[in-house]
Amino acid sequence: MKNYVYGIDLGGTTVKMGLFDSEGTALEKWEIVTRKEDSGDHILPDIAESILKKNEEKNIVIDDIEGIGIGVPGPITEDGQVLKCVNLGWGIFSVADKLSELTGVKKVKVGNDANVAALGEQWRGGGRGFNSIVMVTLGTGVGGGVILNGKILTGSNGAAGEIGHLTVNPKESKSCNCGKNGCLEQYSSATAIMRMAREGLAASNRVSMLRDYKEVTGREIFQAYTAGDELAKEIVDEFAFYLGLGLSHVAQVVDPEAFVIGGGVSKNGQVVIDVIKEHYEKNVMFALKNKEFRLAELGNDAGMYGSVRMVLE
């Protein structure tokens, strides 16, 4: 094993980068801007340049580097090909080959960002101690990642673990961003619960604590829920009903040891797990009841840790 590993989480606005030792300890973290112009052609050269600069700064030679891991916001095949990445303007090509060529580092491991974050949480975060977990990230959308026996489940088209687009309500008339109707993301993302609050407040003059806040985000909704506010209860119930149902589907298919809940909404803590579990338990068969539910611990660093893990495993 060589001395250093680079762990990278490529996002739509910034690239999170980390230099790690071969034990997986973070030595340094920094960010660069994701330049999306020109079909995203600058992104990998920028990342390579930043790595080479860090090497110089730290007196690291290429032979000291075990590898580079990178999480990318799009479907990735098992051999490191990206199959389009709308956010970045990317088409189909091998991220692994390209980044290897640009840096001179042979071992480059590439994964989908949500899957890589799940791997990070399983390795060093809320999923520590479990071999098989499913992570669900409740943010702008709903992301997911399935880790089986310590490895990312990629799927035949890089689309395994796309939990946010489980059709949990086939009767829904409104469309999801993905073009389908009734996706989990339409009810259980941060965006969705904020929308429900807005709509709920606009629909009538009913009394609600939510009217007292300047801005209503997940935090205010869960605060009001805990305080017994009725509108907040309706919103949280809908959020939890669909999320519990969606996670029950996941369990019926892969039977993981634990679920790890991350993303902005998870910052409201144990109450989030409590409400999800209630609906999860109703919708799984006997053998799948009483799974462990944990909160994510690594926040925005999960992707970097997972990237490092891909290199070290």
**Are β-strands 81-85 and 90-94 bridged in parallel, bridged antiparallel, or unpaired?**
antiparallel
Residue of the chain from 153, 194, 201, 271 that contacts a copy of itself (CB under 8 A):
153
**Is 75 near a copy of itself (CB under 8 A)?**
yes
Q: How far is the CB of 177 from a copy of itself (least distance, A)?
A: 10
| Contacting a copy of itself within 118-147 (CB under 8 A) | 131-132, 146
Which contacts (CB < 8 Å, 24+ apart) does range 148-155 have?
A: 148/254, 148/256, 150/122, 150/123, 150/313, 151/119, 151/313, 152/111, 152/112, 152/115, 152/116, 152/118, 152/119, 152/310, 153/115, 153/254, 154/76, 154/77, 154/78, 154/111, 154/112, 154/115
Q: How far is the CB of 64 from a copy of itself (least distance, A)?
A: 33
Residue of the chain from 252, 269, 274, 313 that contacts a copy of itself (CB under 8 A):
252
- CA distance readout (Å), 13 to 43, 87, 93, 267, 301: 11, 10, 21, 22, 15
Q: How far is the CB of 228 from a copy of itself (least distance, A)?
A: 26
Contact window for a copy of itself (CB under 8 A) among 19-27, 135-143, 151-159, 232-240: 151-159
Residue of the chain from 38, 59, 179, 205 that contacts a copy of itself (CB under 8 A):
179
Number of residues that bind a copy of itself (CB under 8 A): 44
**Is 83 near a copy of itself (CB under 8 A)?**
yes
**Is 148 near a copy of itself (CB under 8 A)?**
yes
* Residues contacting residue 18 through CB under 8 Å, at least 6 positions apart: 6, 7, 8, 26, 27, 28, 29, 30, 301, 304, 308
**Is 170 near a copy of itself (CB under 8 A)?**
yes
**Is 166 near a copy of itself (CB under 8 A)?**
yes
Interface positions with a copy of itself (CB under 8 A) = 75, 83, 131-132, 146, 148, 153-163, 165-167, 170, 178-180, 183, 241, 245, 248-257, 282-288
